[in-house]
Structure 1
């Protein structure tokens, strides 16, 4: 098992430690801001103050294969070929040579949501793949999947927030159902999954002190819930709703590994899935979209897959060189950070299954949740229309999450 090192966000610690944590977040944010003021396009992406990061991605591509962000200490590439080589090259890892997250001292995240090195990730992927590739044993029934949407239809013509009011609760409930949580457990846990959302973005840009502490606290609670689900299923086995945890244990996967897989899915899938739903709905409601046909599962699936290619679920991925590497005409030195940008461009072919440590494992659940949500929404709300400009969540350069998506349903 590989080493994993993270820095736990303080929950209830003395005021001076909390202030020190907040100071580190502010200093890191200030460094990103300063680099952006000096014309660094990578820093502008990390600022995540624009609704669209495409202009800064274009600036990175204009530099050629590599853009060197001297102020932020990273080699940045938007070249799909180079990205593929980095992700498949064993000389690059998610941790540095000492087994630490390269940004652990600057961007603390929840210790329960660790960074796994390549061999451990590959092992977890291999354990989960047989179950994730087959949704039948997960007990996904369309009637129950539709319930979160159909149970709370908005008043005719009234504006509401598609993402906050409908999509996040829907996706969270579906992911919890996939894990095997009971109906009573899901109601409260859905809010926890939403609060975990900033964890993926926190690996690249500091969140506010309040968000960072709240998100880390939510991860701790979700980790406890996953442990409880695994322990309960391991002890009883029968007479429980079918779910991914039961399926993994039934295949002989060790409970500790089931806990790790379950936590990655619980924290890493809901927010990318909710964002994929919102991006797909925006495309289908546009002049070239076909919202009416999306109620059919094949059409919804095709629309979600197109969206995941054009607007990938993870816009940034990082690796660290474990030895000197010559790549793309540059010498990458040992312990140099390499950041890969997945541009939001339809002419940039890529394999979305190679999106990084967490979304690589969670992608089947992201696809399933997003497809089911789009199909259910189109069937339940055929008169859905945009009701104003969308707002993106601040400090979300990786997922590009939504803060608000106003719509009406006639």
Structure 2
């Protein structure tokens, strides 16, 4: 890493200047900049303003073409002419935003999301079953150690992915506690790729990712689908979205009377509920792609190395678009298509989340929101929760968190 990312004063200035640029663009009416400023719990109004400006909106200051149109979003996310990095193997705005997660590892010429394309851990259908089983076991253990009231974020969803992944990756028991701590330090990695974080969060993330990669390197091989770098990419891309998806699902179930009770009566519906939430409140709301050649989108020319942002949540609200069908008839959200958010990470998030939700429904049917949910700031990609207080009431209807 260059001095601008290793010297605290230089890093702080760079982060501040970049974020000020977002504020400047947003103040002058750029809805995409307002999304990336990430100071609201609900960015829907800004997303809809992007949609109103046409199928492809050009954010001049942020040098990005932005898409909210459902059909066009699906086209870009499945188009081989778009990739995660530039033709030279760099990130978009790499001179402005510090590396995050897997990007702290050694530079390589051909990477996908911070890890070489052939090195990503392949999460097969059999692996999905294993992840789901581990998630159920860990969920029961975590719930068993909690009292009547707890924070669903700090006490459950933030710990669950790390413990599941540690078991899935076969890490020794003596190192799993540290793995969990370091992965928590990387929690803002996905958001930091598009939005500058505070200096403290950025420095914590850089240090945690570097130590996490070293930890994994001591216990995993250097190459293949279970390499340290591939495992780091998988862990970083799973942890925050899985937590967001579980919390989003719990909130969605509270928005309509009887939905939580219905799931508790039939916990096997967890997969369908998770799929519906992924469609309505995706755990990854902004996908980033870079044109590998000159491309025309809805009559708008995109140059080679041009950056395209897909507003997944907005695209999935498009009434002209329906979920793509699968073999079992369940609709596949845009964030699970092709390379969108990487297939292995998406499969793992889904398996982990449905296992956790099933156990919550089985073991804690009386679980209810007990306070106001608080969303993170500067989290435009995940729009994750900072807190979500819950309590086991013993009886009574599920109430919306805001009404508690």
Normalising by structure 1, report the TM-score: 0.83
Change (3 A) 1:182 1:380: farther
Could you list the runs of 5+ residues in structure 1 that have no partner in the other structure? 1-5, 235-253
Name which of 388, 403, 409 aligns with 2:371.
Answer: 388
8 Å CA contact 1:297, 1:371 repeated in 2: no
**Aligned: 1:89 with 2:79:** yes
8 Å CA contact 2:119, 2:224 repeated in 1: no
Higher mean C-alpha displacement, 163-172 vs 277-286:
163-172
Q: Distance in 1 between matches of 2:303 and 2:271?
A: 42
Higher mean C-alpha displacement, 353-362 vs 180-189:
353-362
Q: Distance in 2 between matches of 1:289 and 1:124?
A: 44
What per-residue deviation string (whole Å, max 9, x for no partner) do you get for residues 174-221 of structure 1? 122111123433233212212111110111010011100101111112
Q: Distance in 2 between matches of 1:132 and 1:186?
A: 25
* 1:48 counterpart residue number: 38
8 Å CA contact 1:93, 1:117 repeated in 2: yes
Q: Distance in 2 between matches of 1:273 and 1:325?
A: 33
Q: What SS does structure 2 have at the residue aligned with 1:128?
A: coil
What per-residue deviation string (whole Å, max 9, x for no partner) do you get for residues 388-407 of structure 1? 32111110000111111122
Q: What SS does structure 1 have at the residue aligned with 2:277?
A: helix
Name which of 17, 21, 42 aligns with 2:11.
Answer: 21
Higher mean C-alpha displacement, 255-264 vs 216-225:
255-264
Change (3 A) 1:142 1:100: closer
Q: What SS does structure 2 have at the residue aligned with 1:385?
A: strand
Q: Distance in 2 between matches of 1:60 and 1:355?
A: 24
Higher mean C-alpha displacement, 280-289 vs 46-55:
280-289
What per-residue deviation string (whole Å, max 9, x for no partner) do you get for residues 258-309 of structure 1? 3333111211101100100000111122324522343555211111111111
What per-residue deviation string (whole Å, max 9, x for no partner) do you get for residues 50-81 of structure 1? 10111111111111101111121111111222
8 Å CA contact 1:205, 1:395 repeated in 2: yes
* 1:59 counterpart residue number: 49
* 2:195 counterpart residue number: 205
**Aligned: 1:265 with 2:230:** no
> What root-mean-square deviation, in Å, do the aligned CA atoms of Structure 1 and Structure 2 show?
2.8
8 Å CA contact 1:149, 1:377 repeated in 2: no
Q: What SS does structure 2 have at the residue aligned with 1:100?
A: coil
Q: What SS does structure 2 have at the residue aligned with 1:370?
A: helix
Q: What SS does structure 2 have at the residue aligned with 1:403?
A: strand
8 Å CA contact 2:131, 2:351 repeated in 1: no
Name which of 100, 103, 112 aligns with 2:104.
Answer: 112
8 Å CA contact 1:171, 1:373 repeated in 2: no
8 Å CA contact 2:86, 2:305 repeated in 1: yes
Q: Distance in 1 between matches of 2:3 and 2:241?
A: 23
8 Å CA contact 1:45, 1:397 repeated in 2: yes
Q: Distance in 2 between matches of 1:33 and 1:272?
A: 26
Q: Distance in 1 between matches of 2:44 and 2:87?
A: 33
* 1:324 counterpart residue number: 294
Change (3 A) 1:272 1:256: closer
**Aligned: 1:337 with 2:322:** no
8 Å CA contact 2:244, 2:384 repeated in 1: yes
* 1:185 counterpart residue number: 175
**Aligned: 1:128 with 2:122:** yes
Q: Distance in 1 between matches of 2:376 and 2:160?
A: 19
What per-residue deviation string (whole Å, max 9, x for no partner) do you get for residues 61-108 of structure 1? 111101111121111111222223223333323222332212111111
Deviation at 1:8, TM superposition (A): 8.8
**Aligned: 1:294 with 2:263:** yes
8 Å CA contact 1:175, 1:369 repeated in 2: no
Change (3 A) 1:138 1:57: closer
Q: Distance in 2 between matches of 1:302 and 1:139?
A: 14
* 2:284 counterpart residue number: 314
Deviation at 1:172, TM superposition (A): 1.9
Change (3 A) 1:170 1:94: closer
Q: What SS does structure 2 have at the residue aligned with 1:89?
A: coil
Normalising by structure 2, report the TM-score: 0.84
Q: Distance in 2 between matches of 1:372 and 1:92?
A: 33
* 2:327 counterpart residue number: none
Could you list the runs of 5+ residues in structure 2 that have no partner in the other structure? 323-332, 394-404
8 Å CA contact 1:7, 1:104 repeated in 2: no
Map of 1:355-374 to 2, 5 A cutoff? 356=339, 358-374=341-357
